[in-house]
Amino acid sequence: MIEYEFTLTFTLPDRQNDPVQHLDALFDAGCDDAVVGTGTSGMISLAFNREADSASKAIESAIHDVIKAIPGASLVEAKPDMVGLTDVAEILNCSRQNIRKYAIGYPNFPRPAITGKFQLWHLWEIAKFDKFSIPDTLVETSRVTCKLNLDLQSQKFKEELTL
């Protein structure tokens, strides 16, 4: 078994609810391997360190456990996925300026997924850049969370089209 680190953010079924009221249910449902964030009313985030055979299985089981604990909760985001240069620098334990040199100086550096005032990349694409060495478990996890986020956005878009 391998330990995977990821964060899942959910909206609560009753957005007026205080997320703290769900802590015992989350623990009882098997989320004792997560640090729970309750800072936003109507939302809850869980930072997991979960053991599983794959990142996909770890994330799927975590989602199942949260929904079992909080029926009606809805997943809105999974991390790690989108990263900025500062995030990449932290992962690689180097300066942001060093990563920026790669981003502007190497033609094969991945193109950002989001441009504008701030640029963001999918972490799994950054991991393909041959100058970086990102742990395999983090790469695997970021691929799974990216696909999950894209699926969530696609589903949300389809729901909007049918309104």
Within a domain: residue 8?
A: yes
Residue 96 domain boundaries: 82-133
Tokens representing residue 35 in the block? 């640090």
Number of domains the chain contains: 2
Query: What confidence category does residue 163 fall into, taking pLDDT thresholds of 50, 70 and 90?
Result: low
pLDDT in tens, 83-93: 999 999 999 99
Based on the fold, state whether residues 73 and 90 are members of the same structural domain. no
Based on the fold, state whether residues 109 and 48 are members of the same structural domain. no
Per-residue confidence (pLDDT) for residue 21, from 0 to 100 = 85
Query: What confidence category does residue 125 fall into, taking pLDDT thresholds of 50, 70 and 90?
Result: very high
The pTM (predicted TM-score) of the whole model is 0.90
Based on the fold, state whether residues 112 and 65 are members of the same structural domain. no
pLDDT in tens, 7-18: 999 999 987 677
Per-residue confidence (pLDDT) for residue 161, from 0 to 100 = 76
Within a domain: residue 58?
A: yes
- How far apart CA 62 and CA 50 sit, in angstroms, is 8
Q: Evaluate if residue 105 carries a pLDDT over 70.
A: yes
Based on the fold, state whether residues 16 and 72 are members of the same structural domain. yes
Is 44 within 8 Å of 37 (Cβ atoms)? yes
Based on the fold, state whether residues 67 and 98 are members of the same structural domain. no
Q: Given the DSSP bridges, would you call strands 43-52 and 82-83 parallel, antiparallel or unpaired?
A: unpaired
pLDDT in tens, 39-57: 888 899 999 999 999 999 9
**CA separation, residue 155 to residues 2, 34, 140, 161 (Å):** 30, 27, 23, 10
Based on the fold, state whether residues 61 and 111 are members of the same structural domain. no
Long-range contacts: 105-108, Cβ < 8 Å, 24+?
106/131
CATH number reported for the structural domain that contains residue 13 in this entry = 3.30.70.1120
Within a domain: residue 110?
A: yes
